[in-house]
Structure formats: structure tokens, C-alpha cells
Structure 1
């Protein structure tokens, strides 16, 4: 009788444990150096971006909506991490929560993000390869931590999101601006078009150059002291 009770208790414990989780696997992620705005279902928030690619260069980043227990995000650093993924019993998971529990095993690698080199304020010197009047020069502030840009096109102020950013490529999301009309709109209009057509960049000391998808120079900037 005692043996039967012991067996029954052990069986109950196993059943309760199996109800809580069903499967556990291990995965490796690169975590991007900046969070991005995202919609997590309960409203706007910020999310990690991760990739399962071996190399973070030119990786396709995906928004990561769930917490990673034990992981500390550090802006400006790319982190390669090993995590366990535990699939939870769907009956015990709230409707707005992840059905997978993520737990940090260890940080495999942590490096300073090379994209931080362009995290600065820049003033335009050339548009489409032609030098412009410095008194009317547009400016650009790049914030790689928030993945946003701010500045003036020489007439109107603007701000927007950086949609894609690697050590070589950059693309901007929708950019909002004021609607003031200036006497000479040639530079502001050319600058806006060039910024829209930007797909890659190169930083050389204190100079930042943007290129279109064909490799043609569209904008050149100098770092603001």
C-alpha cells in the first residue's frame, strides 16, 4: 500500500511537470546593439532585434517580442548568446504572452557595434557630387541607439526612422518634416531626394558619404565639431 501511494505521488509530479512544459531546445542568437519601436499587441513598445545567422554582418534582423530571462541588453554592443527555448503548455499561457520561455545560458561574444562610428551630427558638403553653399547646408543627426535620424534639409526640420543599418548599408523609413516654403528650395528638394535614394555608406575619418543602389554618390557630409 505504501509503495502504491509513493508511485501515485511520483506519477502526479511527473504529470504536473509535463503539463508545465512540453519541449526544450537550445538556440544561438546575435542580439542587435539597438532596440526598435514595435507593436507588442498591448501597445507600442521597444523590442530587441535578433538573428540566427552565424555572422551579424548584413544579417536580416527580426523583432523579438519576448523577454530573455537572465539577459542584459547593452546599447551599442552586439551580443552573441546561447539560450534555451522551452515550449510552454498553451493552456497556462496568457493570450498576449509568448508560448516559448527563453532563458540565457551564456554570452558567447560581445563586441562594440561598428555602426556606432556614424552615431554623430553631420553637415552636408556635397549633393550628387556637387559642392553646395555652406550657409544653406543641410545637417543630419544619426542616432544608432534609437535607430532614428533628425536634422534640417536647409529649410525644413525632419525626423524619421532608420529602417536598415549594417556596417555598409543604410536605408530610411518614412521621414516627417515641417512644411515651410523657403525662397530657394533647390538644395532642400535635392537633399530630400538624395536622402530617400540612399542605400549604402562609407565613413572615412571625418567624412561620411551616402550612395544610391548603383553605387553613385548622393550625399557627402563632414562631422560637426
Structure 2
């Protein structure tokens, strides 16, 4: 074999190797997706009740579009309080190797693109009412109203001064807070006008502002409705 022929054969082999490598990379890329992971887990139901991550797939996060994720992402070390942008590889598992009631997809972390502290998690606490409708809370007959925000279950609850109440969180962002209708017990107490005002203000809540240990609930025009202080 002449030197020219040998060089020509070597060039062909290198070209084939490069093409194969490119094809392998392309094939891998087809199985890789952008995952966004929320800053807190929520109660979900799989085989039994468990705590699930919340994810979205795609380049942008859509408010309120989180989906419960019942599986695990191998190689991903999740920490509460942070939102993540990940590149995740999805691989089909042969049916014969899939455990009962388990996913047929294996999820593997390729790259942690972004890790960002989420200010929303600061809401996850119990807050005591300090002022309502521009006036300091004062009552000799009612308990001080409270607001407990539970991000892990998507609920709010507390006492309105007389009755215990609970409801759902319909939307929450670093500025927005929208609640569903509140349900409450029906006990009668002296000074119920204050409790009624509390529910009236809660129905108007569209946003919030956090200043250190103080939470201010806002209406749709960003006007204050009530001020709360974090319970130690």
C-alpha cells in the first residue's frame, strides 16, 4: 500500500469516527431537556402519600404551571429554598426492569445550570395580625387573628379572631399572592364585626410585601389591606 493510499484510508476512518461521534452526541442531545425545579416540595400521592418536587420543562417558567414530580433525578442534590434550572437526560427503561408502580423513565442530571434563592419561601410561616384597614388591631373580646402559610400543601389557615379558617393558595410569586375562598367554623363571638372585616380584607388579597419580619398583604392596586408580624 502506497503512502498516498494509506493517508487516504486514514482520512476516511477519521471522517467516519467524527460522524459517529457527532451522531452519538446528537442522539444524546435528543434525550436531554431543560427542567426547572421549585424551591419547596409539596404533599403528593403516588404509591402512598409522599413529598414531591415540583417541576416545569422548557426554557421559561410559567407562573402556576408547576407539576408534581414523583421520581428522582439521579445526581441532583436538591436543597429547599432554591429554584433550579437543570439539564436532565431521560432514558427509557426496558419494561422488564421497571418496578411495579414506578416510572419507565430514568432521569439523570447532566448539568446544574442555575441555582437561585427563592424569596417566596420566607412566607412559609405563622403571622400574627398587627393592623387592618389602616388601624392597629385592638379587641378585648377576640383573639388576635393569625395567618399560617403552608407552601408545602398550598394552603393557608389560622384564626380570624373567633373562628378557625382554612383555604387554598391559587397563585404565588415573589410579589403575587392569590387565595381561594376561605372556609371557617361557625362559632359566634362578641365583636364579630372585626372577624367579618378580616375575611373581607382576605378576599381582596392579590399581592404582598415582605420587610424583615413584617408581612403586608396588598390589594390589586398594591394598597395595604393588613399588616402581620412573624410569630417567633
Structure 2 length-normalised TM: 0.70
Contact 1:207 1:222 in 2 (8 A): yes
Indicate whether 1:222 and 2:223 are aligned: no
> 1:38: which partner in 2?
44
Q: Does 1:97 align with 2:116?
A: no
CA spacing shift, 1:84–1:221, aligned 2, 3 Å: same
The Cα shift of 1:168 comes to 0.7
Larger radius of gyration: 2
Partner of 1:74: 79
- Kindly tell me: are residues 124 and 134 of structure 1, through their superposed partners in 2, closer, same or farther at Cα, counting changes over 3 Å? farther
- In the superposition, relative to structure 1, how do residues 134 and 202 fare at CA in structure 2: closer, same or farther (>3 Å)? farther
Q: CA deviation at 1:161?
A: 4.4
| Counterpart residue number, 1:15 | none
Find the residue that maps to 1:187 and give its secondary structure: helix
After superposition, residues 28-177 of structure 1 pair within 5 angstroms as 28-40=34-46, 42-52=47-57, 54=59, 58=63, 60-89=65-94, 93=98, 96-133=101-138, 136=142, 137-144=144-151, 147-173=154-180, 175=182, 177=184
Of the three residues 201, 204, 208, the one matched with 2:211 is 204
Instruction: Give the Cα–Cα distance (whole angstroms) in 2 for the partners of residues 90 and 163 of structure 1.
Output: 38
Structure 1's unaligned 5+ residue stretches are 1-22
Query: Per the alignment, do residues 25 and 223 of structure 1 end up closer, same or farther by CA in structure 2, a change over 3 Å counting?
Result: same
Contact 2:123 2:149 in 1 (8 A): yes
Alpha-carbon offset, residue 105 of structure 1? 1.8
Change (3 A) 1:53 1:170: farther
Secondary structure of the residue aligned to 2:102 is coil
How many residues end up aligned between the 2 structures?
Answer: 202
Q: Separation in 2 of the partners of 1:89 and 1:174?
A: 46
- Greater fraction of residues in strand: 1
User: Pick from 195, 215, 224: which aligns with 1:188?
Assistant: 195
Q: CA deviation at 1:148?
A: 4.0
RMSD between superposed Cα atoms in Å? 3.1
Contact 2:31 2:89 in 1 (8 A): yes
Alpha-carbon distance in 1 for matches of 2:181, 2:41:
18
